[in-house]
Structure 1
Amino acid sequence: MINITGEIALGEAADILDELVEIVDGWGEVTEEYGGYAIKILEGDKLPWSKICSLLLSINHEIWVERRGKDMYIVSKPIAD
C-alpha cells in the first residue's frame, strides 16, 4: 500500500515483490536491489512489460532498461523527492 506521500508502507515491499514475481511468471527473475527492483529478462517476447511498468510506476519508481553482460534487465528505484 502506498501512503499519502507516495511511499510504500512498511511490510508492503514484500507484497510488491510477490506481485512482481507473479506478473513475471517465469519469463524473468525478480530481485530487490537498492530499494527498488531488478528484473532479469529471460523471455523478452513473452514478458508482460506493460504490467511490470504500470506496477512500478504506481509505487512512484523510475524505470530503465540496461544490459549487464549478456543479460537485459528492467531496473527500478524510488523517485527521490
Structure 2
Amino acid sequence: MNKEREEAKKYLKTAKGQIEGILKMIDEGRYCIDISNQIIAAEKQIRKANMLILKGHLNSCVKEAFLNNSGEEKVDEIIDVFDKLTR
C-alpha cells in the first residue's frame, strides 16, 4: 500500500470514530450545534482522505497512462471526479 493510501486510512479511521461519537451525541440528545460541528469535522477528515487518494491516483495510474500514451481516459475520469467535488 502506498504512502497516500496509508495516510488516507488514518483520516478515515478518525472520521469513523467521529461518526460513532456523533451517533452517540444524537442518542444522548446533545445540543444541535455541537452535533453539527462534529459532522463538519468528520466531513473534513473524509475530504482529506479523498484528496490523498486522488493524489496517489495522479502520481501512479495517471502518470503510467501518460507514459504509455493512453492518458486521455484518465483525464476524463479526473475531470468527472472534480466535477462531483465542486457540486
Higher relative contact order (CA 8 A, sep 6+): 2
User: Taking structure 2 as the reference length, what is the TM-score of the superposition?
Assistant: 0.30
| TM-score for the superposition, normalised by structure 1 | 0.32
Larger proportion of strand: 1
Structure number, greater radius of gyration: 2
Structure showing the higher helix proportion among its residues: 2
